[in-house]
């Protein structure tokens, strides 16, 4: 009970002293320093040496004790200054599926060279970096998202024991930016009819008579199979042939296509269909309650749709979406 209260008070004090921010500058106001385990042993040794010198009135023991004591004080200043002036900024918050590592990319700069800086997120592996004066160093720290939705990086302990390991100077970076965990892809039991007529009827409407075809320039999202490659090899012009009656509504992935399924299962179905369409390079659009993402294709479109699925129910206006 007492320990829990002390932890709560400590956490509230840290919240006031080091508020959440994606941009952290380490100064005297937010750096703490204490002797390490080796430093405690070193200090005890100095006390023993001093008492021995007093007892025997030995000038050489006095001299050695004072030299080592001065070394300890110099190490204190050096360890503190090694962390002071370091600047950390969150560059990119990661995204991924449940159970996958969600990478958060940090950028480190320093006014003077910073050596052996250790970045240790809570309950995750630590990384050690060296930052040259005026240079930029980047590091990726990973966390694991277990369920769909926004995910936040745990508090990152930033510490150093340079140069002698006798003292530990530390602080925290508490990122505010959030990554996204996508829904777990689950293939639906049936293929929704998002395209009137489908690909089969589309091919049936085609004719090999190029006289009836409409020729237009290639646009982003057009399938490579439909490019007139012979004409491209002859003229260098990339065009698409469209036959009369071929135009159909674009492929739409709609939240309402799966009546009876709960929200999370619908989102998992849609995530699986987004992956499938993206793998086949098929243009598609996404319709969610209150949100519409226009048809497109490519990696950025895939990421935009998966991000909308991951944030659905958490954000009022996800990035890349327009009101329906």
The pLDDT tens digits for 181-226 are 999 999 888 766 544 333 433 334 443 444 445 677 776 655 565 6
Nearest CA among 275, 322, 280, 320 for reference residue 302 = 275
Q: What is the pLDDT of residue 226?
A: 65
Q: What pTM value is reported for the model?
A: 0.71
From residue 270, alpha-carbon distances to 171, 180, 310, 311 in Å are: 42, 16, 11, 13
Looking from the CA of 293 toward its CB, the CA atoms found within 13 Å total 27
Is 93 a residue whose pLDDT tops 50?
yes
The pLDDT tens digits for 30-60 are 999 999 999 999 999 999 999 999 999 889 9
Within 10 A of 178 (CB to CB), how many other CB atoms are there?
Answer: 18
207 or 99, higher pLDDT: 99
Burial group, residue 81, by CB count within 10 angstroms (0-12, 13-18, 19+): middle
Q: What is the pLDDT of residue 231?
A: 75
Average pLDDT over residues 253-270: 90
In sequence order, which ranges of the chain are alpha helices (DSSP H)?
2-17, 37-56, 59-83, 198-205, 229-235, 263-279, 299-311
Q: What does the mean pLDDT of the chain come to?
A: 83
Least confident of 76-85, 90-99, 276-285: 276-285
Query: Please, which pLDDT band fits residue 249 given cuts at 50, 70 and 90?
Result: very low
């Amino acid at each position: 009970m007492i320990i829990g209260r002390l932890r709560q008070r400590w956490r509230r004090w840290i919240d006031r002293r080091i508020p959440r921010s994606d941009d952290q500058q380490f100064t005297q106001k937010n750096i703490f320093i204490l002797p390490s385990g080796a430093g405690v042993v070193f200090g005890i040794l100095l006390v023993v040496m001093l008492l021995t010198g007093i007892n025997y009135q030995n000038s050489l023991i006095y001299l050695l004790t004072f030299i080592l004591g001065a070394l300890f004080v110099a190490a204190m200043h050096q360890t503190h200054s090694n962390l002071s002036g370091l600047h950390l900024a969150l560059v990119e918050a990661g995204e991924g599926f449940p159970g996958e590592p969600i990478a958060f990319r940090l950028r480190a700069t320093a006014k003077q060279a910073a050596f052996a800086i250790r970045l240790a997120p809570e309950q995750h592996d630590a990384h050690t970096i060296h930052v040259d004066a005026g240079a930029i160093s980047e590091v990726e720290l990973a966390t694991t998202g277990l369920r769909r939705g926004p995910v936040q990086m745990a508090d990152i302990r930033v510490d150093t024991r340079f140069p002698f390991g006798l003292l530990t100077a530390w602080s925290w970076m508490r990122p505010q930016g959030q990554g996204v965990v996508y829904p777990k892809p689950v293939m639906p039991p049936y293929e929704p009819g998002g395209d009137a007529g489908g690909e089969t009827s589309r091919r049936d409407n085609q004719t090999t008579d190029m006289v009836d075809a409409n020729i237009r320039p290639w646009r982003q999202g057009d399938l490579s199979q439909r490019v007139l490659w012979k004409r491209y090899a002859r003229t260098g012009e990339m065009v698409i042939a469209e036959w009369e009656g071929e135009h159909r509504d674009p492929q739409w992935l709609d939240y309402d296509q799966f009546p009876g399924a709960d929200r999370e299962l619908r989102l998992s179905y849609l995530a699986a269909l987004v992956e499938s369409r993206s793998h086949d390079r098929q243009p598609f659009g996404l319709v969610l309650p209150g949100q519409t993402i226009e048809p497109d294709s490519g990696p950025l479109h895939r990421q935009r749709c998966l991000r909308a699925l991951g944030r659905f129910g958490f954000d009022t206006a996800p990035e890349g979406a327009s009101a329906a």
